[in-house]
Amino acid sequence: MIPITSVIPTVMSRIKKLPMGHGIDLRTYKRNRSVLIVRRSNDEFEVIRNGFGKEQFNATAKEIPRLLKGLLKKEFPRSNKVRLYSVGEDGREIPRKI
């Protein structure tokens, strides 16, 4: 879990390293709402909102911080911490190496 204030810088540093088809899943503490970011091409990402509302966006790397800021306010209004998961091509969580 990471503080909500450092979500955008953390996501921006991680999406630069993502392979095609892989993504990052942001979830609330209870894991009932999420924002999923999946790399579709070199600079094209798909952002999927699944919580209070369900929406799907296509964005470039430059557009993601502004889009993410709005989505975090809508989906995680009272959260102080956010769960961050790496997701593979098949949509399953990739276990962390310890």
pTM of the predicted protein model:
0.89
Residue 4 token pair = 């909500």
72-94: average pLDDT? 86
* DSSP H or E stretch at residue 58: strand 54-60
pLDDT per residue over 38-51, tens digit each?
999 998 999 999 98
For residue 97, pLDDT beyond 90: no
Name the residue ranges covered by the structural domains of the chain: 2-87
pLDDT bucket at 88, cuts 50 / 70 / 90: confident
pLDDT per residue over 8-20, tens digit each?
999 999 999 999 9
* DSSP H or E stretch at residue 8: helix 7-15
Residue 24 token pair = 């990052």
Kindly report the average pLDDT of the chain as a whole number: 90
Taking CA atoms, 25 is separated from 10, 11, 35, 57, in Å, by 12, 10, 6, 15
Residue 25 token pair = 């899943």
